[in-house]
Amino acid sequence: MLLKNKKILIMGIRNKWSIAFGIAKTAYDNGAKLIFTYMGEENKGKIEELISEFKGSKAYVLDGASEDELVKETFTKIKEENGKVDGIVHAIAHANTEDLHNDFIYTSKEGFSHANDVSAYSFVLAARMAKELDMLNENASLVTLTYHGSTKVLEGYNVMGIAKAALESSVRYLAENLGKDGIRVNTVSAGPIKTLSAKGIKDFSSILTVVEEKAPLHRNVTTIQVGNVVTFLLSGMSEAITGQVIYADSGYNIMGI
């Protein structure tokens, strides 16, 4: 029970295929009390049904994780109703479909800003808002999700690779800023998983096949396996780790060709 008596805020649950859902399962099984944010007021019923297996959990709508005022409003409500939290998991990203389908060179200014706003700035905003609203308990841990396309060129990942590079760099700067308060900040670089977001990437199935062929473990990862790594990073077992990109990808990233 790595997270016994810990309250964890998980941002970005959408459905049972979401990485956020796998993380919720592992965190809950390790004793955590869960709070969620999700997108779309119209999804309220569906999300409440989805999280009903996590006894005592609550979900709050957040229609714009990169909007300062919306995050302030939602986090204020979360703190009022739940008190401080011991960890925040950020599992949010988005890029415009055309920017994932065209060659990267054609990324528009709006598409470039959008991907970086939603996928990288939103994490900086969550960290800052949590600090300013005094939402974080001592030794709190913040974790976000990234992908290997931040450092290597993967056809079809395009502007999302740039956003993930910004996110990983933000993790290092945030780790330095928040380290003074004993708060840790890390990111898990998950291997490819078939989620709704992943469906936006061209030929996603062929990426899964290549991982099976080439990764040292010759298998793809599951949301539960990623959740286990995130749970470790949320827990006191990882108290010596901050500012890191931890790969949970069956070892794929170490391979040359």
197 contacts ligand NAD (rule: CB under 6 A): yes
- On whether the CB atoms of residues 32 and 6 are closer than 8 A, the answer is yes
147 tagged catalytic? yes
125 contacts ligand NAD (rule: CB under 6 A): no
Choice between 155 and 181, CB closer to ligand NAD: 155
198 contacts ligand NAD (rule: CB under 6 A): yes
- On whether the CB atoms of residues 115 and 159 are closer than 8 A, the answer is yes
**Candidates 14-22, 28-36, 124-132, 237-245 — which segment interacts with ligand NAD by CB under 6 A?**
14-22
Least distance from C-beta 238 to ligand NAD, angstroms? Answer: 19
Instruction: Indicate which single residue of 54, 60, 112, 147 sits in contact with ligand NAD (rule: CB under 6 A).
Output: 147
User: Strands, DSSP E only, in the chain?
Assistant: 7-11, 33-38, 58-61, 85-90, 136-146, 184-190, 245-248
Instruction: Indicate which single residue of 62, 124, 126, 166 sits in contact with ligand NAD (rule: CB under 6 A).
Output: 62
Least distance from C-beta 243 to ligand NAD, angstroms? Answer: 18
How many angstroms separate the CA atoms of 42 and 12, rounded? 15
91 contacts ligand NAD (rule: CB under 6 A): yes
Q: Residue-wise over 117-142: b if at least 16 C-beta within 10 A, else e?
A: bbbbbbbbbbbbbbbebebbbeebbb
Q: Which of 157, 173, 247, 252 is catalytic?
A: 157
Residue type for position 80:
E
Residue type for position 76:
T
Q: Which residues contact 76 (CB under 8 A, 6 or more apart)?
A: 133
- On whether the CB atoms of residues 232 and 240 are closer than 8 A, the answer is no
Question: Considering CB under 6 A, how many residues would be counted as binding ligand NAD?
Answer: 26
Least distance from C-beta 182 to ligand NAD, angstroms? Answer: 26
23 contacts ligand NAD (rule: CB under 6 A): no
Would you tell me which residues interact with ligand NAD (CB under 6 A)? Answer: 12-14, 18-20, 39, 62, 64-66, 91-94, 118, 145-147, 190, 192-193, 195-198
